[in-house]
Amino acid sequence: MWGGRFAVGPAEIMEEINASIDFDRKLAAQDIAGSLAHVAMLARQGVVEKADADAIAKGLTQVKGEIEAGTFAFSRALEDIHMNVESRLAAIVGPAAGRLHTARSRNDQVAVDFRLWVRDTIDALVLQIAGLQRALATRALDCADMVMPGFTHLQSAQPVTFGHHLLAYVEMLGRDAGRFRDARARLNECPLGAAALAGTSFPIDRAQTAAALGFDRPTANSLDSVADRDFALEALSAAAITATHLSRFAEEIVLWTTPQFGFVRLSDAFSTGSSIMPQKRNPDAAELVRGKTGRVTGALVGLLTVMKGLPLAYSKDMQEDKEGVFDALQTLSLCLAAMTGMVNDLTPDAKRMKAAAGAGYATATDLADWLVRTLKMPFREAHHVTGRIVALASERGVGLEKLKLEELQGVEPRITADAFAVLRVEKSVKSRTSYGGTAPANVRRQAKAWLKKLGA
């Protein structure tokens, strides 16, 4: 493609390090869409004759069909998807194919292709996130009254409901989807027409190609158009945060399925066995979601590192932008699918969770609140009194509810038998009626609101 300047071809190792067709063939559909929009604009502007433009468009459609059918022969000698398509186009329509590259460069071509791919993938990921949210909210509605321990520092803290716990991830995923939508809105400007870096002297209509490809507008600066990949970085950032949320939930599933917790069970469909220990049931799907988060986060760090020292405008370093993005966003898609499957599959053990919810003096805060409400005690004093009662129960090796009234009154004489009512875990969760609290009525209301919002 640059034979006029170079007398000999590249060294074998140069071809090996330079070629990108092994991975950028993923951009084939977007590359052809961009070329079709570009040649249509060139014809309307009189830059290319209509007959040539029609032949090019017909040839591009044929190339697209060959790629979709799996009959297209990709060549590493042609480096990338752009030259592979153009070479095949030339074989189909002849010299007219050479007019397609008028008023553009591979720099703006790859920039538009990559934006289109990231935009399409974001749209698919947002739909997947909504699907996982629906699964979680549906489960939350079913489990609005199911009591489980809430943890801080992985120690029993206060009782919550399983439905409330699941809705926490619905909220996180809602913000994740919002970050993806924000990233999409910012990337939705078209770099086509920026050419190599300075624009072009041909009378092109960039607004036309932008509209044809579904962009809101053309990019405003030709240097920025080809030099930055912040749209990919932003998508990766959203992906890394989403993957981190999935990883946290995956970790909880791993814990919950252990015999020591026993809060939930996954069926054989989402479990594996051991080659040596016949009793084992391993939550490998959850473990893999947890592990694959490293790939997503690594892609973000990798691209940040590629971009951090590049002067304007395009440098070949930027060829390293795609593999990590392709892998990370497709990995996230797989993790979302696996997590949705696990949420639909898991069976909670209500009895086991309820028993655990009452362990570790989890209703101590309820007792402190009772002292504040009933005895008008300042909270700090109530906290101290309750701490002494917990110490007493610990010394006796019993739960708070198993202490005798006279033992409570030995710490605080004004305590009455009414205090025992707040020590039951069901009473505790029902009392948490503040907005966003774990009370079953709140959980049902929030779950229904999310399901309505998600169109379920």
Measured between alpha carbons, how far is 166 from 164 in angstroms, rounded to an integer? Answer: 5
Instruction: Write the single-letter amino acid at 59.
Output: G
Nearest to 177 by CA among 127, 240, 214, 137: 127
Is 153 marked active-site? Answer: yes
Residue 219 CB burial class (10 angstroms; 0-12, 13-18, ≥19)? buried
Q: Which tokens hold the place of 126?
A: 């947002």
Measured between alpha carbons, how far is 306 from 325 in angstroms, rounded to an integer? Answer: 13
Instruction: With residue 86 as reference, give the H or E element that holds it.
Output: helix 81-93
The one catalytic residue in 153, 201, 275, 434 is 153
Q: Which tokens hold the place of 94?
A: 């002849």
Q: Which tokens hold the place of 102?
A: 């008028």
Q: Which tokens hold the place of 366?
A: 């309820």
Question: Are the C-beta atoms of 126 and 177 separated by less than 8 Å?
Answer: yes
Is 38 marked active-site? Answer: no
The one catalytic residue in 222, 245, 271, 274 is 274
Q: E-assigned strands of 97-254? A: 147-152, 155-161, 189-190, 217-218
Q: Which tokens hold the place of 279?
A: 């009793």
Measured between alpha carbons, how far is 224 from 230 in angstroms, rounded to an integer? Answer: 10
Question: Are the C-beta atoms of 364 and 390 separated by less than 8 Å?
Answer: yes
Query: Which three-class secondary structure state does DSSP give residue 265?
Result: strand
Measured between alpha carbons, how far is 216 from 148 in angstroms, rounded to an integer? Answer: 48
Q: How many CB atoms lie within 10 A of CB 311?
A: 6
Question: Are the C-beta atoms of 91 and 78 separated by less than 8 Å?
Answer: no
Residue 100 CB burial class (10 angstroms; 0-12, 13-18, ≥19)? buried
Question: Are the C-beta atoms of 408 and 382 separated by less than 8 Å?
Answer: no
Task: Give the residues across from 158 on adjacent strands.
Answer: 150
Nearest to 162 by CA among 249, 290, 282, 242: 249
Residues marked as catalytic: 153, 274
